[in-house]
């Protein structure tokens, strides 16, 4: 994976787009608007990734603690865990199961935190 593909995940704009599109797509799924929800879920995130990896100087992310953490922690397995949590949230929103949506959010949070202890020990 190239540096840009790794470090763009630590950029505040990318994180904001991902969180906002997740919340908006879940709200749309709750209302039963599947096609619009999937467009809202994927299109902004893809555009943000393309713009950030192409035009943004990511040295700040590369040199910062959070960027180093992301480079170490975001393995393919962790990325799959984050996606699994999002899919849980989407399915739960579509089925109006708020508690299960919270479980999906927890899966995502745990994926982000999966290597916190390892990163702290490696300093």
Asked if pLDDT for residue 51 goes beyond 80, the answer is yes
Give residue limits of the domains in the chain: 3-121
- Give pLDDT, residue 115: 77
| pLDDT bracket for residue 3 (50, 70, 90) | confident
Choice between 13 and 120, residue whose per-residue pLDDT is larger = 13
Choice between 4 and 85, residue whose per-residue pLDDT is larger = 85
Half-sphere exposure of 73 (CA within 13 A, CB side): 23
Q: How far lies 27's CA from each of 80, 118, 119, 121, in Å?
A: 23, 35, 35, 39
Sign (positive/negative) of CA torsion 115, 116, 117, 121? positive
- Give pLDDT, residue 122: 54
Asked if pLDDT for residue 119 goes beyond 70, the answer is no
The model carries a pTM of 0.88
DSSP state of 48: H
User: How far is the C-alpha of 26 from the C-alpha of 14, rounded, in Å?
Assistant: 18
């Amino acid at each position: 994976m190239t540096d840009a593909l790794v470090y763009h995940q630590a950029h505040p704009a990318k994180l904001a787009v991902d969180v906002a599109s997740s919340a908006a797509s879940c709200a749309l799924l709750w209302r039963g608007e599947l096609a619009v929800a999937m467009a809202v879920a994927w299109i902004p995130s893809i555009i943000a990734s393309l713009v950030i990896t192409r035009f943004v100087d990511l040295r700040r992310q590369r040199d910062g603690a959070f960027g180093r953490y992301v480079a170490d922690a975001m393995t393919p397995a962790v990325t799959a865990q984050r996606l699994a949590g999002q899919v849980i949230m989407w399915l739960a929103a579509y089925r109006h199961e708020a508690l299960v949506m919270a479980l999906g959010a927890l899966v995502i949070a745990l994926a982000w935190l999966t290597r916190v202890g390892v990163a702290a020990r490696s300093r």
